[in-house]
Each structure stands twice: as structure tokens, then as C-alpha cells.
Structure 1
């Protein structure tokens, strides 16, 4: 099956509730039913970021493959990198269902999953079983359990366990669905976590929320740079509800992603780029569903870009479509290489 055919079948999945459809999609991917697409079709899209080599800057965000069950099939869709997780030290079921809601009129999603995952041991077993070398860099997104968490203990322990099996690790302190987690974005709390991290064998990234004020964002970025963090992912889902939302599920509790998040997350990305001046890699995520939107993230300061909701709506054909369009946009504007466009509008 080709990515285009797999995408043509994607609307059928929307006849199911969102979480059931997601489960079936992962099974289909694991069975290799989504086809393949080349990650290296455009030389202009290749880059080195955080000391890692990327065939293209387009990645799949954490949350899609929480338990690393479809890493290789997802990479074969043409992604330049993949981020699995979030994984917590112990398994946890997350919040009661229903907990994922499509906002189809707004091309958005609200989720209140609550770090549902099979836990660290199962995650490690799947990573160890992957054939090496992998076709693209692999990241792992790590979080803490809802109960019994000690962040200064748990994040370093997760890093130590997972680092030998991945290319980078993202510290998630911004999911809105674990009580108290976003408090870890505070300057003192994040400083404590990063100070407790072991010596780095792979890059550390921090994923932040789009709801931070500029007064909170800039000190957070300073803490990250002071502790040698390699990158910041901007951003996680938002708790805000724009007045423009039309979908019936707009009032559901949880984090909002997709198109309604694009402008907000891109503005924060631009602000972070102006402050950091290229001293730290930025990863843009939030509302990307086209080459133009991926390009806007890059011009705002993102060295890498991630998909989630757009991929869930459009299916595998979205990946080569964005890559082809992105290469064309770079050529149109006279950029021989994607790295030349990073921060052009910041």
C-alpha cells in the first residue's frame, strides 16, 4: 500500500471514536500497511542539528506512538526523525475514556489522556528489539507518574535507562493532563531537574507549553541554556480556547492541538528565537498541516518541525507532500539549504 492510498482510507477511521481509530492506525502501521516514502528525496532539506544528521527537518511528535510499537514503519513514511513516548517510570492507565475529541470543523484535537503508557520496562524492551541502525534519529519523550513522582529523581533515572537506545531525550514538563506537571516549568523547579541530570551521552531537550507569558518564557530559556540543554520544543498543547472554535467538542477539558494552536505556538517560537539567537536548537510543533506552515515555523526559528494532529487528519501522504512543498519554497526564496532559512523572520 502507498502512503497516498493509506491516506485515502483515513476518513474511514473517523467513523470510529478517536482513540479506537488511533489504536487501529498503530496496528496497521505495525503491519506495514501504510507504505513507504523517501526521507532523503531533497538534498536541500538535509541538516545537522544538535550534532545529529537529519535527512529532512520533519518529525513526528511524541504522543502518537507512546509505547514505541510502530517506530520503524513510521520512520519509513519519510519522516526525518521520530519521537516516541511519553513514557513514565511505571505503567499508568491515564484518565477515563472518552479522552480524545476531534474538532473537525477547526482541524483540531482536544486530549486529556494523562500520560497513559505501558511504562519504562515495556518501552525499553521495544527499543532494544529495533533493528539497528535505524533509518532516522529516534527521540524519547519522558514524563513522571501522576502519583509518587519525585521529578529530580525520576527524570534523571529515565534518562539513564533510555539514553543508550535513542538519539535524544525530551523532558516533558508541559502536558496539561498530569496535575502539577506544568509547575515544573518554573525557573526554580526546572533548574532543580536539570541540575540533577547525569552527564549527557545524548542531547537533552525540554518541551514547554504555549501558555507561558514572555516573562516566564525567557527565564526558562536561560535556565535551559545554562544547563546545556540542546533544544527546546515549542510547544505542547494549549489550555486556551480561542473564540473562533466552532466544533461541538470545543468545551471539553484537556489540551488543544492542531490548527487553532498554529499562530500561538509560532509566535512563541519567534520570541524564543529572538532571545536565544541560535544558541539552542528550537523545534516547532503546533498546527502544522502544510508545507507553508512548516516553512513558517522554520522561518520563525525552528531547526526542526514536528507533526501530530495534521498527520492524524491527513494520513501518511501528508509527509511527502510537505517535503516536496518545503523544498520548492526554499528554492523559490533562494535558499540552497534549509538551515539558511531558520530564523529568517525572527
Structure 2
């Protein structure tokens, strides 16, 4: 788990239907290879294909640097996504560079699609194949809208896509799927997470796919995260914290979009139904991170997401208890260059505060937990040094 956390500091989440190999290969190749991020998450993916909610279903709140969406888990389903992710993993683990296609062969739509796919694969090698090999691929899972057995939906997703994942996310917090957020209650979340862990544990190392870098290397378990909402009650937070500790979930993603509408929103679209993300929920998500870190005594790694648009925003998430930071909605306004800027600004802030590693920042708002964990880390490092010397 530690090596997984050390592999990335910032994460980009790609929420696409993955309609073809062209889509998945171009998206993941660009994100992992072109100095955008070493860490990409795709999803949410449902077992069966479903169209999601009618359009329009995404609204920019330009004046507020926010987004409202009510996608409703539009998904091509597990089978289609498996084909696409399998292709990426196979090419990522390939020992020889794919051939560049001849532009004269682009004579039909099918040929065009295939040649674009071939070009994407060649770019992995031409740019930096090592980066693609080492990049972390997360897969985010959801349930079908009309499913009568949500537990079975997640079990199926874990079993089918788990072999391709460096980490998995159980998404139970989207506000756009009826009944989904009820899974955050005490008994439902315990029942679901126990089933998810069993399904994860049943993935044999022999089933895992070449081209994966992360938790399932060397036969280790694939890290399993649960994604929660930012606007849950204190009682729900306590129930979730108790469940993830008792059941042994590897981490939490905090947070999803919010049903709430903070006062002072200026955009005309702010009244649209759906989940709010971006700058308007930045403080809400950071506070949720802070509370969950305290409730779990800093023992459960947290991926922090919600309104990150600067190095300072990322720094605040880390101080509150996040081990990793995810950027999503703010990319809508600033594009992929935002990731490099956030990383640069974060490094400058850390340098100003005498902090050399991200570990020196994580949870610093929780003084007692911070210093205890820092002492434990120093003790472990000294033990490792002694072992090396003794050998």
C-alpha cells in the first residue's frame, strides 16, 4: 500500500464512456505519458450498459468556477470497458514498439479508427514508454440505476475489471443514481464493503494482467477505496469511519459532488438539479477530509478531491489529511496545464515551510496524530537502516 501511495501526488480523474479503443487509448496515453499525471482513474462503470440521464446533464457555473452534473452513470458496461482496458494493458506491457500506420491506408471510417488507435499506441513508445508502464490506473465502479441487487453489481465489477486495476473505487455517493447514497448508512455500507473485500480477495494473482503497476504487483491485494459524499451527517461519518477500519478497506476518496448549494453562487445555472463540484465545494470537501482523518486516527489513506485549482488548495487538502490529491472540475476551466502549475506551486509552498516530502505535510492540522505518525515513520526508517547495515 505504501508503494502505491508513493507513486503519485496528484491525480486526474477521467469520466468517459470509453466507447472505443481509440477513446481509452488516447485518453490514458495522453494523461500518463505527456507529463500530465502518473495517476488516472476511469469511471464510474456499471455492470450493464445504460444511457444515463437525458441531456442536457452538465452545466458550467462559470462565474463560480463550478460544475453541476446529473450524468446518472452513463456507461458502456463492463464488457466494453474490459475490452478497452485490456488493450491498453497489453500494449503497455509490450516489449516491442507498435508500427506506425500509413496515412494512405486511412480510406474508411473503420480504418481511420484503427489507425488512430495504432498512433496512440506508438505515442506511448515515442514519448516515454516507461512512464506509461509505471503509471497507476484506477477503476471506479458504480451500480445500475434499476438494479435490485447493488451488492452483486459491485461484486461483478470487481471480479471483471479488478484484474486490470492498480486500484479500485466503490462509488456509493453520486447524487444522480436513486438510492445510491443510502449505501453510506451503517448497515448497508458494512454489508457492501464486506462483499467488496471478499470479491477483491478472490482475484487470483494468476488472473492479473500484464501492464498493471501498483497494488496487484507481486501477488499483493489490489487497494480498494470507497468514495463518499461531502455533505453527510456527523453520524454517517462516524459509521463510515468505523466500517472502513473494521472491514479493512484500504482507503477513502473524499469527496464526490454535493447536493447542497452554498450561498453566494452567481451563475444562472446554479439552480439546476445534480451534483455540484469545483470551487464552490472546496471548503466542504476539505472539512470532510479533516473530520474523517480524525475519526480514523490517520490510519486510512485518503484521496482528497473537490475544488483544487492551485497549489495552496492541494496543500490545504494534504494538511487536512489527504495522502493524494485529485483534480477534476477545475480542469474544465484551466485545461491540462493546471496539473503542472499545481505541482509547481505545491512544491514552492512546501519549500517555504521547510517540508521536503509530501509525507511531511499529510495531516499536519492534527497535531497529536501528526507527530505520533511522524515518530513512527522515523522509527521504521531507522529499523530499515539497521537491517541494511547488519546485512
TM-score clears 0.5: yes
Are the equivalent residues in 2 in contact too, given 1:174–1:209 (CA < 8 A)? yes
- Structure having the larger proportion of residues in helix: 2
Task: Give CA deviations for 1:180-231 in whole Å, capped at 9, x if unaligned.
Answer: 0000111100111122232433011000001101111111111011111111
Are the equivalent residues in 1 in contact too, given 2:31–2:38 (CA < 8 A)? no
Larger gyration radius, structure 1 or structure 2: 2
**Counterpart for residue 40 of structure 2:** 82
Q: Does 1:219 align with 2:239?
A: yes
Are the equivalent residues in 1 in contact too, given 2:85–2:164 (CA < 8 A)? yes
Task: Give CA deviations for 1:9-36 in whole Å, capped at 9, x if unaligned.
Answer: xxxxxxxxxxxxxxxxxxxxxxxxxxxx
Task: Give CA deviations for 1:148-171 in whole Å, capped at 9, x if unaligned.
Answer: 241221111211111110101000
Change in 2 beyond 3 A, CA 1:187/1:51: farther
**Counterpart for residue 83 of structure 2:** 125
Q: Give the alignment's Cα RMSD to 1 decimal.
A: 1.4
Are the equivalent residues in 2 in contact too, given 1:210–1:237 (CA < 8 A)? yes
**Can you give the 5+ residue segments of structure 1 that lack an aligned partner in the other structure?**
1-48
Are the equivalent residues in 2 in contact too, given 1:50–1:281 (CA < 8 A)? no
| DSSP-derived class of the 1:82 partner | strand
Map 1:240-255 → 2, pairs under 5 A: 240-255=260-275
CA distance in 2 between partners of 1:139 and 1:333 (Å): 32
Map 1:196-211 → 2, pairs under 5 A: 196-197=195-196, 198-200=199-201, 201-211=221-231
CA distance in 2 between partners of 1:52 and 1:246 (Å): 40
Are the equivalent residues in 2 in contact too, given 1:54–1:80 (CA < 8 A)? no
CA distance in 2 between partners of 1:337 and 1:148 (Å): 44
Map 1:37-56 → 2, pairs under 5 A: 50-52=2-4, 54-56=6-8
Are the equivalent residues in 2 in contact too, given 1:285–1:305 (CA < 8 A)? yes
CA distance in 1 between partners of 2:240 and 2:345 (Å): 34
CA distance in 1 between partners of 2:336 and 2:36 (Å): 9
| DSSP-derived class of the 1:207 partner | strand
**Counterpart for residue 16 of structure 1:** none
Residue number among 59, 82, 102 corresponding to 2:11 in the alignment: 59
Map 1:327-338 → 2, pairs under 5 A: 327-338=347-358
**Counterpart for residue 21 of structure 1:** none
Report how far residue 311 of structure 1 moved: 1.1
**Counterpart for residue 148 of structure 1:** 147
**Can you give the 5+ residue segments of structure 2 that lack an aligned partner in the other structure?**
94-132, 202-220, 367-391
Residue number among 72, 95, 98 corresponding to 2:29 in the alignment: 72
Q: Greater CA deviation, 67-76 or 230-239?
A: 67-76
TM-score, scaled relative to structure 2: 0.74
Map 1:124-203 → 2, pairs under 5 A: 124-130=82-88, 131-133=91-93, 134-197=133-196, 198-200=199-201, 201-203=221-223
Task: Give CA deviations for 1:37-63 in whole Å, capped at 9, x if unaligned.
Answer: xxxxxxxxxxxx554154431001353
Change in 2 beyond 3 A, CA 1:125/1:54: farther
CA distance in 2 between partners of 1:247 and 1:152 (Å): 38
CA distance in 2 between partners of 1:247 and 1:191 (Å): 39
